[in-house]
Chains A and B, each alone.
Chain A
């Protein structure tokens, strides 16, 4: 697929322009530039027919990149972040690396809205969790499976063994039901 090469080429190119580089702290600039490159890529893919062969690909890309960079800066500033050369806290969104993730999510072990979710599954105001069940097994309801996963933290093998139903059947049933029940979750839990 030709676009794959184009995307790879642009992303790996060391001849992409770097507008306003001196005006931003390096960490922040990297994110702004990355976002701009991404928007430019999408734009190029959608407007590939506009490309005029008389101009070089790179010139065309850089022209668009400069405009997208301005858009990114504007969107970023709308979020009310002030420029400070010394601080990484300026980043509106955190950018942990893979190695940072364990520490980054360590706080999760004491925070949870799983309580709300558990309550909702028990309450099941419209009886949708209770009424959905594996074919020919009315006791193996979506509600029972959801609780096994959420509260008991059981693996699919454990549940399959307890219910005497194959993992395949359980996962397939659960995937399909969950897909249809997402609006139900959103209706009652969206905050």
Chain B
């Protein structure tokens, strides 16, 4: 664990330094930026890519210092091709997802986000480049996109690790294990959490080869002042030796009558792409996704989102 250096009598630096980490940009950063921008055929695009990559590299360096792993192969910014189509400065953080790391010109107070990148990213970091391009300073981040982001309104960089942690995909829950009678902490039989409200409609058409299993989990979701709970319920029915059918419903917590309004329940594939999403209205007793099937080994996640708060559970057939 990191020791508290404020208590260290040998502390030889000023603890009042601003917490906007400045990352040196040396050979590796420059070499990568060069490789990504050469041969573009358009001076303005090449310049744009060069600056984007430096901002991404600085963010990568910082996140790696904090113990995150980066997947460069899934990062569009580092590919030679993406820049031809998109003004992207994305970064793929392993087990978490995609971030955007926009470069900011020296002393600018507002960053702009091109249309290309205002979706499919978990957070937007703003990275101010030094005029010499020998260093870059991470100014802060925003969890949501907008046409422009004011530097003064960004969240402090030191809250980024905590923010990313809520997205971290834990080990997926095995549906096969459930079907074989296994138990996972936190997940209970439907009746325990839903009582007589369990309205999981029998899965249609295919006759079940073996009896299905229903499990539910109480999820805490919400921001500090308005914590709510909901019950995520899943029914799994084996269809054949290696396929199963899944139905997902979301209920209010046992002591409430309806699901919070404007809550979203989504099903995502392995790469994080949303395959289904349903949104609650006022006074919904429950909401549900269309049932879906999978083969042994297929992975998916379920995400419950309410405002900025999110909970994600991942599964494998």
Interface of A toward B, CB cutoff 8 Å: 1-13, 15, 30-31, 34-35, 37-38, 41-42, 45-46, 48-49, 51, 53, 55-58, 76, 92-99, 101-102, 104-109, 111-114, 117, 145-146, 149-150, 155-157, 167-168, 171-172, 174-176, 178-180, 182, 185-186, 189
Contacts and interface: CB of A to CB of B under 8 A. Distances in A.
B26 interface: yes
Contacts of A112: 39-42
A93 B61 contact: no
A170 to B, nearest CB: 9
A109 B17 contact: no
A7 B212 CA distance: 54
Contacts of B42: 108-109, 112, 114
Contact of A182 (B22, B39, B50, B79): B79
A35 B79 CA distance: 23
Given A57-B13, A93-B30, A178-B82, A7 B47 contact: no
A42 B74 CA distance: 22
Contacts of A1: 19, 66, 157-158, 160-161
A57 B65 contact: no
A96 B133 CA distance: 7
What 6 A-B pairs come out closest when comparing CB atoms? A112-B41, A35-B26, A45-B65, A1-B158, A9-B13, A34-B26
Given A1-B158, A38-B61, A57-B13, A31 B27 contact: yes
A11 B115 contact: no
A45 B2 CA distance: 10
A180 B271 contact: yes
A102 B79 contact: no
A89 B132 CA distance: 18
B120 A176 contact: yes
A37 B22 CA distance: 12
Given A35-B26, A93-B30, A105-B37, A171 B84 contact: no
B129 A171 contact: no
A58 to B, nearest CB: 5
Contacts of A76: 27
A45 B65 CA distance: 5
A177 to B, nearest CB: 10
Contact of B50 (A4, A105, A157): A105
Given A53-B3, A93-B30, A9 B14 contact: yes
B12 interface: yes
B85 A150 contact: yes
Nearest to A182: B79
B95 interface: no
Q: Which of A51, A101, A114, A150 has the most CB of B within 10 A?
A: A101
A113 B39 contact: yes
